[in-house]
Structure formats: C-alpha cells, structure tokens
C-alpha cells in the first residue's frame, strides 16, 4: 500500500520555503516518508507594519490553524517566532540541529561594524538589535526596517540602496545561500542573539502519536536543550519586563567558568548568557548561569530571576 505524502505547512517566503524543504528532505532521508509542501499565508506576510507592532506569533497563528483543522500534518517554524506558552493541542516533535545563531552585518564596501563611519545609517527589524547597537556607542544612525532577507540586503547592495548596512540573523542569510555577502559576523559579546535564533521548531498535533514518533528522528538534543534554556528565560521575563531581551546558551564541558567542583567536571553542561537592554541602549544588565542539560528550563528561569533581581524590569523606557 502506498503511503500518502506528509503535508508540511510553510509560509511562502523564500526563507520559509528553504527551511521547510530542508526539513522535508531530512525527514525523507531519515524515515523514507515522502513530504509535500503546503503554502499557508499568514497575517505577517500581508502587513507592512513593524514586527514589534504586529506582536509575537503573527507568523505562527495561520500555520497552527491549518494544523488544527487538518489541512496540514505538521509545520516548520523559526523557533524564535513561537509564543513562549505551550499550545494545549500541539507538540514540538523535533528541534533540528541549529544553524549559527549569531547576528550578521551586510555593509557597503565590505565594511565590518568597527569600520562603519560615524553617522552611517544601519537598518534592522529587531528592537533587541537596535538597543544593542545603540549601546555600543558607535555614533551610528539606527533605523527600523521590515522585509525579507533579500529585500533587506537590497537596501545595502541593490541598485537603489539607501542604507550603509543592515544587521540580520546569520542563519537566514546562510540558509538562502547568501553567506558570501556577510561582511561581519557579530560576536555575541557585542550583539547577544534573540532566544532560539537560528533554531527551527517542527510542530504537529499532540494526539498524532505516530507522527510525533516519526518526526522525533529529526530532533537534535543539544539544540533542544539550549533553546529550552533560552526560551525559559524569555518566558519568565515576559511577565515582569518589557525591555529588549537577548539570550544565548551553548553546551560546554564541565569546569567552565561558573561551574563548581563536584558539579560534573568533564560532563556536558549548558552555559547560558542573558541580557536585558533599555531601548535607548543606555542601560543593560548582562548575567550568566551554568547547569546540566537536564535542568535547561530551570537554568533559564533562574537566570531570569537573577536579571529581575538586578533591576531588569526597570529598563523599559529608559531615556537617560
């Protein structure tokens, strides 16, 4: 008996289609199941409003509706687009291996961030990036922009370019095969990424147990642990802080700064860095914690509590 192809719901942007096809190919290679892409239009695709104004989940809701009404079998999301609260009827069945989560600069004349002259106009769509760029004190003019990866890069390198540089997620540029145009990959010490940046979430209906088991073939445990830590930090802060939030977790060997004797030297540990920055970039609180992958969520929650104790909830609206 021929098994019908699995229907994978995706947004219609070039990046979404590329990411979804990548997941489809990996699933077919791992399980032998055929997969077909089903394009779903989301409100975020038809609006020109800033993402911060549209709200978290604007790119996700239409895909989830298609899952719940049976038009598709599973969906691929950029994990950072997902609301932090769990959906009662849906399940993240797999978190594939993460692409490089750092931010990247595409600038005229091959310039790095340090090479940009005072007054250079730099565009980005994220309040987190805007705040951190301002915090660097480089006398750059930062302007909010919208659009897909190709549109943003065209504003620097296209025939009608009007910006000196743009900052965007390296993962998306690389997945589209345009990494050669990146002029600077930004050190997380300068520009801490968004929680779950560079990671994908493969989601299906929670009661579709056979598909949950099938999709698990794509799960990359180290990536899942890192993302769980970052998103637990974000979820905890969302209740008490509306300022830009950044987080980056990576797995290291025990004995890293922050670990203590007897806590598993030589074992794999999660090192989580988190930051909350005032929108104007004047004030920032940056802290870190280390723990075991099994305690990823607890590490995120504890670091969020540390940040709030240090005054993170006072940073929103800072203008001094």
**280-289: per-residue pLDDT in tens?**
999 999 999 9
Sheet strand arrangement including 74-78 = 35-39, 6-10, 74-78, 200-205, 90-94
The neighbouring-strand residues paired with 169 are: 103
Average pLDDT, the chain: 90
**108-164: per-residue pLDDT in tens?**
999 999 999 999 999 998 999 999 999 999 999 999 998 899 999 999 998 999 999
What mean pLDDT do residues 169-179 have? Answer: 96
Catalytic residue among 73, 81, 164, 184, which?
A: 81
**237-250: per-residue pLDDT in tens?**
987 777 899 999 99
Give 214's contacts (C-beta < 8 A, 6+ positions apart): 27, 31, 33
**15-28: per-residue pLDDT in tens?**
999 999 999 999 99
Q: Which option is the CATH number for 6-96+199-219: 3.30.460.80, 3.40.190.10, 3.40.50.150, 3.30.830.10?
A: 3.40.190.10
Distance of CA 223 to the CA centre of its chain: 12
Give 186's contacts (C-beta < 8 A, 6+ positions apart): 102, 103, 104, 105, 113, 167
Cβ atoms of residues 9 and 67 within 8 Å: yes
Give 47's contacts (C-beta < 8 A, 6+ positions apart): 54, 58
pLDDT of residue 44: 54
Instruction: Report whether pLDDT(54) > 90.
Output: no
d(C-alpha 186, C-alpha 251), whole Å: 20
CATH superfamily of 103-185: Periplasmic binding protein-like II (3.40.190.10)
Cβ atoms of residues 77 and 198 within 8 Å: no
C-alpha torsion sign, points 189, 190, 194, 196: negative
Statement: the pTM of the whole predicted model exceeds 0.85:
yes
SS3 165: strand
Residues of the chain with CATH 3.30.160.40: 225-312
Query: Among 57-71, 166-180, 296-310, whose mean pLDDT is lowest?
Result: 57-71
Distances, alpha carbon 68 to alpha carbons 33, 36, 135, 203, in Å: 22, 18, 43, 11
Architecture of domain 225-312: 2-Layer Sandwich (3.30)
Q: How confident is the model at residue 59 (pLDDT cuts 50, 70, 90)?
A: confident
Residues of the chain with CATH 3.40.190.10: 6-96+199-219, 103-185
For 104, phi then psi, to 5°, come to: -130, 150
Where b means 16+ CB within 10 Å and e means fewer, 16-43 reads bbbbbeebbebbeeebebebebeebebe
Distances, alpha carbon 273 to alpha carbons 30, 180, 299, 304, in Å: 33, 28, 10, 10
Is 81 one of the annotated active-site residues of the chain? yes
């Amino acid at each position: 008996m021929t098994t019908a192809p699995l229907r994978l719901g995706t947004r219609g942007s070039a990046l979404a289609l590329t990411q979804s096809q990548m997941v489809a190919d990996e699933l077919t290679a791992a399980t032998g199941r055929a997969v077909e892409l089903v394009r779903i239009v989301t409100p975020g695709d038809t609006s020109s409003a800033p993402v911060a104004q549209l709200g978290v989940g604007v790119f996700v809701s239409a895909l989830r509706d298609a899952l719940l009404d049976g038009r598709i079998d599973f969906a691929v999301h950029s994990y950072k687009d997902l609301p932090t609260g769990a959906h009662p009827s849906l399940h993240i069945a797999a978190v594939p291996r993460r692409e490089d989560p750092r931010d990247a600069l595409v600038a005229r004349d091959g310039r790095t961030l340090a090479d940009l002259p005072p007054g250079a106009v730099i565009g980005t769509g994220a309040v987190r990036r805007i705040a951190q760029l301002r915090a660097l004190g480089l006398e750059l003019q930062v302007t909010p922009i919208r659009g897909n990866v190709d549109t943003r890069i065209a504003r620097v390198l296209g025939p009608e370019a009007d910006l000196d540089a743009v900052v965007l997620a390296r993962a998306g540029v690389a997945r589209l095969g345009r990494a050669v145009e990146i002029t600077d990959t930004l050190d997380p010490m300068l520009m801490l990424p968004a929680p779950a940046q560079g990671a994908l979430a493969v989601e299906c209906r929670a009661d579709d147990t056979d598909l949950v088991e099938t999709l698990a073939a794509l799960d990359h445990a180290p990536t899942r642990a890192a993302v769980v830590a970052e998103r637990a930090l974000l979820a905890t802060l969302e209740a008490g802080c509306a300022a830009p939030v950044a987080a980056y977790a990576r797995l290291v060997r025990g004995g890293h700064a922050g670990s203590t004797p007897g806590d598993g030297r030589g074992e794999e540990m999660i090192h989580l860095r988190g930051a909350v920055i005032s929108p104007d970039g004047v004030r920032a609180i940056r802290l870190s914690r280390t723990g075991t992958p099994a305690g990823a969520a607890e590490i995120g929650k504890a670091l969020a509590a540390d940040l709030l104790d240090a005054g993170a909830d006072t940073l929103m609206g800072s203008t001094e």
